Structure 1
Amino acid sequence: MDIDPSTTKYLISAKLSTDGIVEKPDIVGAIFGQTEGLLGDELDLRDLQKSGRIGRIEVEVSSTKGKSEGIVYVPSSLDQVETAILASSLETIDRVGPCKARITIEKIEDVRVSKRNKIVERAKQLLNELMKASKVSGVDLADSVRQSVQIEEVIHYGKERLPAGPNIDDSDAIIVVEGRSDVLNLLKYGIKNVIAVEGTNIPQTIVELSKEKVVTAFADGDRGGELILRELLQVAEVDFIARAPAGQEVEELTQKQIVKCLRNKVPADQFAEMLNIQGPSTKNGEKTGRRDEDRGERRRPEDDRGRHGREREQKPPSRFQEEKPVKRFSPEQLRWKGVLDELVNTSKAKILNASGNVLKEVHVSTLADTLKEGMEGVTSVVLDGIITQRILDIAVEKNISTVVGVKLGNIAKLPTNVEVLTKEDLS
């Protein structure tokens, strides 16, 4: 059925049955012929069709066993009253050609309602497509903005132009990762004191930074990550080791996984002993001395069992067996030593007053900002980390008399009015 939508408000559907075989032209002719003059000039079918107020009459007819049945469709753009009158006039037709006929109106359909229903259904489809497209574009937009910000935050550090976060110089602690993708992933979650080694050949920039800052090496959970850690521990002064879960890379970790890995970091000495790695000598000889003594103690029973054991027994005592002069500490120094021992492997700092009471305990990464806030009564600071020039400058500014730490960083100007003590000074 082909109905012209431009001339249709209503659609009349009429059921036709005849006692003989008829065809479409017979039915259309009977409709025009038997309704002519029936409803007056205003509702004459021929005039209405010429003026476009009714559309083309469509007929669907089939014949079986000498009889015909079908449906007649009359599109109308008349008003409801005129359409109803026109429909009822069709039921007056009693013959089609030579055959008796019966026409019964089945329904008058408001085509605009059907159109509205189609419009609603189509609008739902279009809205769903629009919402999906908006969500996707919104996600893409957020990701692209986030990625562009991350890329803008990546700087090139040192003569090797290593990918790094913007807070490398300002932070007392840094995180060393493998590549640029790892740096981008940590920047994504707000960790900006990160720098990449860009391969297994550790750059000199990393070695120099490790002398001044607290270094956490954050490696992939695969064989490649272990190889990088081995080289780092041999050439740089690494303080802590963090690993991604087995088989995963730092660049693919979520924020929750990254935080968990960094919280579960282990001291570098402990990790090095597990892998039997010999580390570099530090600026004040602390790490090398301790490891040399350990190796000396372990070596002696092995030497006794060796091939030249008897000869070695007759040799004079080695330098490890010579008695060292006993250091004498003041009560105040013993107190600093006790506080420093309490902070071992915690990466925290204690801020104390003149009576030795702890005013506040903070992480070493936030120590400088905390001291700048200007707490009342601060006379000394003990930290499980490296004493940096920045900490000493703040100590001078805030009239802090004593600063105690694990070791001394790269200090350009040592203040005369601040007592600076390291772990080596207290051991």
Structure 2
Amino acid sequence: MSNISWCYEVIELSSQSFLVKYVIKAYFEVEGVVERPDVIGAVFGQTEGLFGSELDLRELHKTGRVGRIEIELKSEKDRTKGKIIIPTSLDRVSTAIIAASIESIERIGPCKARVWLEKIEDVREAKRKAIIERAKEILHQWNLEKQPETEEIFREVSEILRISRVQKYGPEKLTAGPDIDSAKEIIIVEGRADVINLLKIGIQNVIALEGVKIPETIIRLTKEKEATAFLDGDHGGDLILKELLQVANIKYVARAPKGKEVEDLNAREIKEALKNRISVEELLKRRKRKKIFVSKEIEEAIKEVKGTREAILLDEKMNEISRLPVSELAEKLKEMDGVNTVVFDGVITQRLVDIASEKNIKYLIAVRISDVIKQSLNVKLLTFNNISN
């Protein structure tokens, strides 16, 4: 089946099979001699807590969304050079964030270090190319062996494929269906695989963003046509929706079920999601209705921690007990008593909720709540956007 290597396609993780979508490959250079465990420790330790548990490498490794991290290294003349290889089953946005966080590593072991990204391999793209090459071989052999009466069937199937083919649209060459120009309404999705999935069930007025930055073509189309944003049900989808609402004229929003990607939905799930779309106007009204009034002390604490990566701990009378870095928050909360409210510039994770429940903390207030939280009955979770002045 050609010369394509499948070494990263499926990795055995504990008792489960781990299907790899992307492989992050990064180089590193260390001013000193280090071992593989030092590099692994830096990868896990220096990226911990940057983006919450849903993008924490330890958590992702435990839940099987990041595979075994491979390290290749060589030491000579008091310097160590090598490569970090991280297979993931995450979406494109999350994989890019993980890659960027790896580049933020500054020390490995006791030594100063530099890490830079070589590339992110799309394993599925490699697989698709190999399948296409094999399909060409099969088709060629089939054409040699086919009977004359199959000619008409072949022409009919080719015509169906021609009608539903994927196209490149606009100066950015965005992946799209064939009906973008003729349709009065368009559906905007995140990537190429999403477009293909919608084409399979006959939806041809679809176009992909293909990145976090919104292309000018999308901005123009949303001014000319009624646009529905159909996005993944994860944090990446939240970020893209936020930017779309700022720069484009979106009329409706549809989302994949929580934790799912549009490319993985079946026909029923796609139709249901589009049927349940809501107008942007209604979405903004819902967000407004969620506003909650809090004390002046909490409002002040929110203003003080924004952009600082710090936490402020308040007692029952709203007096400040302590102020500390968010990276130390979980461990410090375990040791402290009498905390009523925690306000911090970070993400509310399941670990923090569990600690708060154990320590009888009433409120956790932060920038964002992780997508994988199991709500505790005795801890109220709020975001800065929920708070009304």
Structure-2-length-normalised TM-score: 0.33
More contact order relative to length (CA 8 Å, sep ≥ 6) = 2
Greater strand content: 2
The structure number with the bigger radius of gyration is 1
Structure-1-length-normalised TM-score: 0.30
